[in-house]
A = this chain, B = another copy of it.
Amino acid sequence: MATRCGFQNLIGGSFVDSHSSDSIDVLNPATQEVVSRVPLTTKDEFKSAVAAAKEAFPSWRNTPITTRQRVMFKLQDLIRKNTRFWFWLSPYHEHFLEEVVEHACGMATLQMGEYVANVSNGIDTYSIREPLGVCAGICPFNFPAMIPLWMFPVAVTCGNTYVLKPSEKDPGASMILAELAMEAGLPNGVLNIVHGTHDIVNAICDDDDIRAVSFVGSNTAGMHIYARASASGKRVQSNMGAKNHGIVMPDANVDATLNALVAAGFGAAGQRCMALSTVVFVGDSKLWEDKLVERAKALKVSAGTDPEADLGPVISKQVRQRKGSASWYKAGSKVEQDCLLDGRTIKVPGYEQGNFIGPTILADVTADMECYKEEIFGPVLICMQADSLEEAINIVNRNKYGNGAAIFTSSGIAARKFQTEIEAGQVGINVPIPVPLPFFSFTGSKASFAGDLNFYGKAGVQFYIQIKTVTQQWKDLPSGAGVSLAMPTSQKS
């Protein structure tokens, strides 16, 4: 856990101080205060964590699935009751915490093998789902509790053991989750935590005892991990960047649509992969821009701990500086007045040092502008325009990302056309980009995801298990029968 000296590693069931001489400061983004320190877990400590996970595996994989499920039932209860989270989570308005844990409570059903009796005379075939061994997860800063909860509950309930690397920017929630998981009955060594940045990520990718890696974060890191961990034969699932578009049809419900755009565009200060960062107004719906600005102006920017805050600060000073620079959102833009709302100069009383950016709206953006090409990950809503649904869909499909896209319309025909033709993994119809509930999966596509099996849901379970196929023959075999060299299970008819 966190001591005066900073966060600890969790190895084999014990929270232990790192011997690393290097550490990273965790800052409160609203004040720049140092909240804690994260060590750079040393190579030896990392090896110990993997070794602890490896040692815990045989016993944990042989623990009945019903017992493993019961740990999740208790964890669900503990998460719901626990309030210690909120200190760490408050800047992020995080919900959706216990959902994936609840999903893991039904693991026996989710990981069933299959049985076919008598596939050929006297021969049965069946499949068994087995855990992989040691798995690892690498987490981003923006959902410090939700993303770890997408990873280890599924993995360990399948019977795997785990090495988790939280974001070095906010590892606190992961530490508490680990404590709760052990309180719920997770044996020592089943969940381990290490800290750090590039080096530890590479160590995870390269380690021969790690069988699978889950990652959520930026495209640069995600593609690096996908390639590097694959090169050593691992399974990888990598959830990456996004540029989520919302298409607004003129027949949409005006109020509901504008509310949705403001909520999805500025919620969490735009720092979530499901933020809706680009609006494509079709035809006359462009006229609603003014109302959009009006509603965005009404949002309150303050520290995440302020219960009335609609937007908190962005995660770090560097991000704020980069994003706040004049060059950033005008690049490629022709006229200054395209900035309908400018949040650069906002001051939040009492938090003058905070990394704040106010709601910002850019109009008349085109696909060649810098502000469109990059993932901004801040409270900036970009407005584009199209003459037809067809054209709007083309704009979205030409974007390299495929995380999510939404349409706002009252027409069943428009919605079905959009749903069918849009190239994005999460599709919203009159809802901004939704995070699917955990019995479905988080299904990014194109450059937003690398891998075969998405996070949580049924796919997420499959990512953490492998199939063993058994063919059995139990019969009083005739003695001295002739030898046939044909392949054994081929059916004859």
Contacts and interface: CB of A to CB of B under 8 A. Distances in A.
Identify the interface centre among A266, A295, A425: most chain B CB within 10 Å of its CB.
A425
A447 B420 CA distance: 36
Interface string A249-261: 0000111100110
Nearest to A124: B416
A349 interface: no
Nearest to A127: B440
A127 to B, nearest CB: 6
Interface string A456-493: 00110011001111111111111111111111111111
A463 B93 CA distance: 36
B471 A412 contact: no
Contacts of A440: 114, 116, 125, 127, 469
Nearest to A268: B485
Interface string A412-428: 11011101100011111
Given A116-B439, A262-B483, A96 B226 contact: no
A474 B429 contact: yes
Given A426-B468, A427-B470, A443-B466, 13 more contacts: A70-B491, A95-B486, A102-B105, A113-B114, A115-B127, A116-B440, A125-B434, A125-B436, A125-B437, A295-B483, A412-B474, A426-B471, A428-B471
Contacts of A96: 487, 490-491
A220 interface: no
A147 to B, nearest CB: 13
Contact of A452 (B299, B425, B453, B478): B453
Interface string A121-151: 1011111101000000000000000000000
Identify the interface centre among A76, A468, A476: most chain B CB within 10 Å of its CB.
A468
A245 interface: no
Interface stretch (A14-22, A60-68, A163-171, A366-374): A60-68
A431 B491 contact: no
A187 to B, nearest CB: 13
Identify the interface centre among A99, A435, A437: most chain B CB within 10 Å of its CB.
A437
Identify the interface centre among A96, A298, A445, A472: most chain B CB within 10 Å of its CB.
A472
Interface residues of A, number: 135
Contacts of A439: 106, 108-109, 112, 116
A73 B299 CA distance: 36
A227 B223 contact: no
A479 B263 contact: no
A283 interface: no
Nearest to A437: B119
Given A119-B64, A450-B233, A481-B255, A489 B113 contact: no
A490 B435 contact: yes
A433 interface: yes
Contacts of A66: 119-120, 437, 491, 493
Nearest to A426: B469
A117 interface: yes
Interface in A43-76: 62, 64-67, 69-70, 73, 76
